[in-house]
Amino acid sequence: MMKQVSFPLSLLVIIALFQCQTEIQAQVAPSPGPAGPTNITKILEKAGQFTTFIRLMKVTSMSDQINNQLNNSQNGMTVLAPTDNAFSSLKAGTLNSLTDQQKVQLMQFHVIPSYLSMSQFQTVSNPVRTQAGDVSARFPLNVTTSGNQVNVSTGVDDATVDNAIYTDGQLAVYQVDKVLLPLSLFGAPSPAEAPAPLSALPKKKKPSGGPESGDDAPAADSSGAAADAALHGMVACLGAGILFLATFWS
């Protein structure tokens, strides 16, 4: 009689323990990690506050290109990612004034086809070559440093290279506070002030954190889900423990 009770019980224990373990694993390893191909979109989504950059990378196929190139390159890559705030501080209509080809060039200008750690920025020689090419006249990008501070200047605007969002020795992604405007696209003063189309305004949907979310704050809005998962895991583990004791005492 004991056996008839404990057999299904022990099965339950095994199932509960298994679930307990998988829940814990899911919590211990939430990041994409080195396993599997690197996915720039995923990295930026996880960091939050890059919705416009992600959208532009998508429409220009730049994200696919980066993912593919990373897989085949020995030199690695560096991506300078402007925040949503950087895009919303552009003059209205700036993005809409660009042709598809120019949007591709704008995205290429934010990608350096080699891996640069923060300290390597100190020793890089100017101008730095981006994926957009032609550093001499059309797409120059200069790095200036002072102490640990790193700025880049395009000849049209200057941006500060803020914290690293992601680095793995192959891919480095840094947050920048301005959209890097290439000389060839924005250098010449435009003869006519284009009226700003309303559709150019980025959607005001603020992601996690304030404007100064500081270090590597990993998306506050995911904490709810994490707490949920933690609770789930705890319940499963508690259940497993109780069942475990129950089998011993039956």
Ligand X SMILES: *[C@@H]1O[C@H](CO)[C@@H](O)[C@H](O)[C@H]1NC(C)=O
Q: Which residues form the interface with ligand X (CB under 6 A)? A: 37, 39, 41-42, 45, 67-68, 71-72, 126-127, 140, 142, 144-146, 149, 151, 153, 155, 158, 160
Query: What is the DSSP annotation of the chain?
Result: -HHHHHHHHHHHHHHHHHHHHHHHHHHH--S--SSS---HHHHHHHH-S-HHHHHHHHHTTHHHHHHHHHHH-SS-EEEEEE-HHHHHTSPTTTTTTS-HHHHHHHHHTTEESS---TGGGGTPPSSPP-TT--TTTTS--EEEEETTEEEEE-SS-EEEEEEEEEE-SSEEEEEESS----HHHHSSPPSS-PPPPGGGSPP----SS-TT-TTT---GGGHHHHHHHHHHHHHHHHHHHHHHHHHHH-
For ligand X, the closer CB: 161 or 243: 161
Question: What is the smallest separation between the CB atom of 122 and ligand X, expressed in angstroms?
Answer: 10
Question: What is the smallest separation between the CB atom of 143 and ligand X, expressed in angstroms?
Answer: 9
Question: What is the smallest separation between the CB atom of 179 and ligand X, expressed in angstroms?
Answer: 15
For ligand X, the closer CB: 20 or 50: 50
For ligand X, the closer CB: 22 or 160: 160
For ligand X, the closer CB: 85 or 151: 151
Question: What is the smallest separation between the CB atom of 75 and ligand X, expressed in angstroms?
Answer: 15
Question: What is the smallest separation between the CB atom of 198 and ligand X, expressed in angstroms?
Answer: 28
For ligand X, the closer CB: 20 or 40: 40
